[in-house]
Amino acid sequence: MTIRLFLVDDHELFLTGVRTELAGDDSFDIVGSATDVDDAIGAIRKSEPDLVLIDVHMPGGGGLAVIQNVAETHPDIRFLALSVSDAPEDVIAMIRAGARGYVTKSIGPDELADAIRRTADGDAVFSPRLAGFVLDAFAGAMPRPSDPELDQLTPREQEVLRQIARGYTYKQVARRLSISIKTVETHVSAVLRKLQLSSRHELARWASDRRIV
């Protein structure tokens, strides 16, 4: 059984690469390709492929827009995301939109062919580096990457830390959390001591380094 494949990527050269590499394999039938979001949506609806290999970053909304549009009318079409990015935000966004797999462009031709086959079969395929964190992210209601630095803070201290990192003064934090200024000071002192920092400025840096906002 051949897999009817559709390719979407705004880089023509990359498109050519995939097309060339998969040409020798007669288990694939490339029924079309597109280099921008609007073309992709229209052409996929017409050609009704089994699977769409789709780039994440494209002008006009990216792969996200394509998946969301096509899935409304054709929920049976599967999507395999293919991107240079291995950023958690991108992966999460694509999976949420409905992509059944996500591989980075550093993948080799053989692994790509295998990934396509397995995704078409119903598997969820991820590049090795991504697999771990995707499982973390979705296992049991998002139990966070568990930072040992952050874990030594009590829940309330973490809450105060987030507010301070956003630039609020003690007074503002107190009002937002409905506690007294003195309590905020207590928590901040504890946070600074536990994290070996000495001022709210360092704290703000520390937090932004860890994307806590």
Query: What residues make contact with DNA under the rule CB under 7 A?
Result: 154-157, 169-171, 177, 179-183, 185-189, 192-193, 198-201, 203
Binding mask 76-115 for its own copies (x = CB under 8 A): --------x--------------------xxxxx--x---
Please state, in angstroms and rounded to a whole number, the distance separating the CA atoms of residues 15 and 135: 30
Q: Identify the residue among 26, 148, 196, 201 touching its own copies (CB under 8 A).
A: 201
Sign of the dihedral defined by the CA atoms of residues 190, 193, 198, 201, in that order: negative
Q: Identify the residue among 20, 73, 180, 189 touching its own copies (CB under 8 A).
A: 20
Contacts of 133-138 with CB under 8 Å at 24 or more apart are 133/88, 133/91, 134/91, 134/95, 134/102, 137/88, 137/92, 138/95
- For residue 192, the partner it binds in its own copies, DNA, none, with Cβ less than 5 to 8 A by kind, is DNA
Does residue number 116 form part of the binding site for its own copies (CB under 8 A)?
no
The residue (of 27 and 152) whose beta carbon lies closer to DNA is 152
Per residue, the 3-state secondary structure of 100-147, as one string, reads CEEEECCCCHHHHHHHHHHHHCCCCEECHHHHHHHHHHHCCCCCCCCC
Does residue number 211 form part of the binding site for its own copies (CB under 8 A)?
no
Residues that bind its own copies (CB under 8 A): 10-18, 20-21, 57, 84, 105-109, 112, 167, 169, 199-202, 204-205
